[in-house]
Amino acid sequence: MSTVRTSISIKKEILDIVDKLARELNTTRSHVIMSAIESYIMDRSWVLGKDEDLVCGVLIILYETGHHEADTKLTLIQHEYEDVIRAVLHVHVTKTTCMEVIVVKGKLKDVKRLANSLEGIKGVLSLKYCIYPVSE
C-alpha cells in the first residue's frame, strides 16, 4: 500500500497529545495519526453494512448523573429497543458520572438507530461501540 502525503487541520492541544504519545511510544507523529485513523475506520466500518445484516456487540455510554434528559431518555430508549438490547450493565463511576454497557444483537439498521438516538442525548459525555457482523 502506497503512502500519500496530506495536510490536515488539528487543534494544538490534540497535536500536543499526539506528539507526547509519539515520544512515549518511540514512533513518529505520522504513525500515531495514521494508527488513530485506521482504528477509527475499523471501529465504525460496521455502519457501511446492509440494513438487514445481523450484528452483535456492545455500546458503552459515559454520562452525567442527575442530568434529567440523560437519565430519562436513556431509560426510555432502552425500553424502545427491547428487541435489540440483550443486557445492560450500569456502573457508578463517580458521584456525577455513570457508565452503561449495552449488549446488542439485531439488524444493522436497528443498532444504527439505537446508537444515533443515544449519541444525541444531552448529558452523554461519550459513546463508544464495538459491533461485529453475525454469520448464521
Domain count for the chain, please give it: 2
For residue 115, give the H/E element and its range: helix 108-119
42 & 66 share domain: no
Same domain, 113 and 56: yes
- Based on the domain organization, do 36 and 66 belong to the same domain? no
| Confidence at residue 42, expressed as pLDDT on a 0 to 100 scale | 78
Tell me what pLDDT residue 127 has.
93
Q: How far apart, in whole angstroms, are the C-alpha atoms of residue 23 and residue 83? A: 47
Give yes or no: residues 61 and 114 share one domain: yes
pTM for the model: 0.75
Alpha helices (H) along 50-101: 68-80
Give the integer Cα–Cα distance in Å for 136 and 1.
33
Q: Is the domain of 89 the same as that of 114?
A: yes
Query: In this structure, are 24 and 80 located in the same domain?
Result: no
Supply the range of the domain harboring residue 24.
12-46
> Are residue 55 and residue 100 in the same domain, yes or no?
yes
Residues 114, 87, 44, 24: is their CA dihedral positive or negative?
Answer: positive
Helices 68-80/108-119 angle, 10° precision: 170
C-alpha pair distances (Å), 121 with each of 60, 77, 126: 14, 10, 10
60 and 127 co-located in one domain: yes
Q: What is the pLDDT of residue 36?
A: 93
For position 9, what pLDDT does the model report? 93
The per-residue pLDDT for 136 is: 67
Domain co-membership, 42 together with 61: no
Question: Is 5 inside a domain boundary?
Answer: no
Q: What does the alpha-carbon distance between residue 25 and residue 128 come to, in Å, rounded to a whole number?
A: 24
Low-confidence residues of the chain, pLDDT below 70? Answer: 136
Q: The domain that contains 61 carries what CATH number? A: 3.30.70.1150
User: Would you say residue 2 lies in a domain?
Assistant: no
pLDDT at 93: 95
